Structure 1
Amino acid sequence: MTSTTTDADDAPSPGWDAISARLDQLYPGQEPKHFGTLISHMLGGPDPLDGISVWRRTDPVPHWHFVTYGLSELYAKESDDPEVSGYGLELTFRLAMEPGEVADASAEPPAWALNFLQNLARYVFQSGNVFRDGHWMTANGPIALERNTQICSMGFVTDPELAEPLATPNGSVEFLQVVGLTVEEERAAKQWRTRNLLEVLLPHMPLWVTDLGRASLLAHPAVKQQVEEGLRRDGSASGFLFTDVLGLKQVKRLLRKPITQVTVGARQVDELVTLLPLRLPFGRTLRVAGHEWQLLLEPAGTDGSNTVEWQGEGEDNAVVLRLTDATVQQLAQTLQPRQGSYVLPLLPQVEWVVEKTTIKDSTGKVVEVIG
């Protein structure tokens, strides 16, 4: 992106003007640094966002405040929903300044953050998946490439200073802030609830400013205790787990009933055995989805017994396991992220087969083997 105007600047832009007016209220008298595209997206440009504005902040900690233009309808109304503008949101991002940026009033905001927000917007445009308050997403590596940082994931939360939805001539727009998280914090968000975790972290990261230099806040005993207490009290809000390795089949046995064989990858075992006790005993299901199969784990019925049910055909192939709380605990204690076969005394009609997981980089080189 460049700090230039876009080809769309001469077009009426009621959506753009409404966003700018809201930020003028937050930063009266401050002219933001604006980074626009040479060719706007509406005219075929490669970047989904037509612009990103950035403000300098000194309080509560020195940081850059980024706000996007382009996930909502900036110009003419084109979508069918009169109540919502485009995807109904714009992204914001608060990034802690480096010492040199604090000292230099003419410093430019880091270019990687502009590309980072463009990539998030590109994901929304290409997938149609819209971020909402309480969502999380892994970055599969540092959010700032070539930086030595533990921030490799992100949560999404309503920007605390732009909490009121913005009414524009094209519909409503929410300002959704991207918050950098460590892998350990991402795991806690998945296990509990992203919004709850962010509230616990807020006293330690004012305004949810992302600091690339920080370590996991779960290293603070008080934070860790709050998360553990929340998990015991609330259970987990994560009801879906995707895995590349999921096989389901019935295995016949001589003079005995067939058993159901469930094959999973070692990489997903930790998440499976962690989430199960935080879902089923709270009356919630957990869906494990593979490329061809789905495994639906549900609390046992009123008769208090474990059952196995095969459902669907073709792409809808699924097996439903209804498990008692005791069986859930036994499964969590028995299943290991190591290659092998596991059968529970309380669930002898199911064999769990764990396969090694091989992780490769973009060139196909094996970088890790789990199990």
Structure 2
Amino acid sequence: MTKEEYKDSFDEEDAVGWLSIDKKLEEIYGDTEPRHYAPALHYAIGGEDPIDGSSIYDSEKQSFHRHIISYGMSELYYNEEKIGEPFSKWGFEFTFRIKPFEEDEKDPLWAIQVMNNLAKYVYSSGKWFEAYHFIPANGPIRLETDTDIVGLAFVPDPELGVIQTPHGEVSFLQMVGLTTKETERLLANPKTDEVERLINEMRETNPLLITDLKRKS
């Protein structure tokens, strides 16, 4: 897309990257309105959370779960200087698929905070996540919860995949909860091919890689 095409298609009030994400989500969820959560104060003006907002959809696919998508790791807003970049900002957005958990009143808002904590790491370190990276959480991913899910792997979201935007490529990286045993396995062999091997094993019984906080090692 040339600068002239960009200026003809959008104006300075348009959230160009955000619209690209929404277009992809419409392919999956049609005109369903998600529940959207945004921080009270934007990060650019002193807020603590780098993610501008997170949408949560209810999905009936495979088994009922919440599907969370972040907005904030890619270039969301009108910016002529970013036209045609290979990657949009950090080049990804987080997603998460979570089986309902009785200690959540409805939506798993703790998961949005996990995304923000990961985003803070990216913004402060300059290091980003890619498919088949993993991290130990050094405790339960939902704080103060009796769960064996103590790590996270990052995989291509099986429905959203990768999109091309006017600002460059955006990958939807789905966070997948790992048990203690799985986390220990990857710490012993942290190569991406071992992470992918584990994820492929998980896909045999859980194709959408839905995280269940009650799952045991």
User: Per the shorter chain, which TM-score range?
Assistant: 0.7 to 0.9
CA deviations 1:336-357 (Å, max 9, x no partner) are xxxxxxxxxxxxxxxxxxxxxx
Residue 158 (structure 2) aligns with: 160
CA deviations 1:158-202 (Å, max 9, x no partner) are 001112x21111111000000000121022234261011100111
Residue 207 (structure 2) aligns with: 206
Residue 172 (structure 2) aligns with: 175
Task: Give the deviation of 1:124 after TM superposition.
Answer: 0.8
Task: Give the deviation of 1:99 after TM superposition.
Answer: 6.0
- 2:164–2:170 contact (8 Å) kept in structure 1: yes
- Counterpart residue identity of residue 87, structure 1: W
Give, in whole Å, the separation in 1 of the partners of 2:150 and 2:157. Answer: 20
Q: Residue 49 of structure 2 aligns to a residue in which SS?
A: coil
CA deviations 1:13-70 (Å, max 9, x no partner) are 0001110111011101211000012222233322100000000012211110000000
Tell me which of 80, 84, 87 is aligned to 2:87. Answer: 84
Give, in whole Å, the separation in 2 of the partners of 1:13 and 1:44. Answer: 20
Tell me which of 107, 112, 115 is aligned to 2:113. Answer: 115
- Counterpart residue identity of residue 159, structure 2: E
> Which structure: larger Rg?
1
For 1:1-371, list aligned pairs within 5 A: 11-77=13-79, 82-98=85-101, 108-163=106-161, 165-190=162-187, 191=189, 193-216=194-217
- 1:188–1:197 contact (8 Å) kept in structure 2: no
Give, in whole Å, the separation in 1 of the partners of 2:138 and 2:101. Answer: 24
Task: Give the deviation of 1:108 after TM superposition.
Answer: 3.2
Q: Could you list the runs of 5+ residues in structure 1 that have no partner in the other structure?
A: 1-9, 102-106, 217-371
- 2:101–2:213 contact (8 Å) kept in structure 1: no
Task: Give the deviation of 1:100 after TM superposition.
Answer: 9.0
CA deviations 1:125-157 (Å, max 9, x no partner) are 111111101111010100000110000001110
After superposition, the Cα gap between the structure-2 partners of 1:171 and 1:92, relative to the gap in structure 1 and judged at 3 Å, is same
Give, in whole Å, the separation in 2 of the partners of 1:76 and 1:14. Answer: 5
After superposition, the Cα gap between the structure-2 partners of 1:12 and 1:43, relative to the gap in structure 1 and judged at 3 Å, is farther
Q: Residue 63 of structure 2 aligns to a residue in which SS?
A: coil
Q: What is the root-mean-square deviation in Å for CA atoms of aligned residues?
A: 2.0
Q: Could you list the runs of 5+ residues in structure 2 that have no partner in the other structure?
A: 1-11
- 1:61–1:206 contact (8 Å) kept in structure 2: no
Give, in whole Å, the separation in 1 of the partners of 2:13 and 2:136. Answer: 37
Percent identity among equivalent residues?
38
CA deviations 1:53-97 (Å, max 9, x no partner) are 000012211110000000000013366981210000000000001
CA deviations 1:305-364 (Å, max 9, x no partner) are xxxxxxxxxxxxxxxxxxxxxxxxxxxxxxxxxxxxxxxxxxxxxxxxxxxxxxxxxxxx
Give, in whole Å, the separation in 1 of the partners of 2:83 and 2:21. Answer: 21
TM-score, length-scaled by structure 1: 0.51
Higher strand share: 1
- Counterpart residue identity of residue 88, structure 1: G
TM-score, length-scaled by structure 2: 0.86
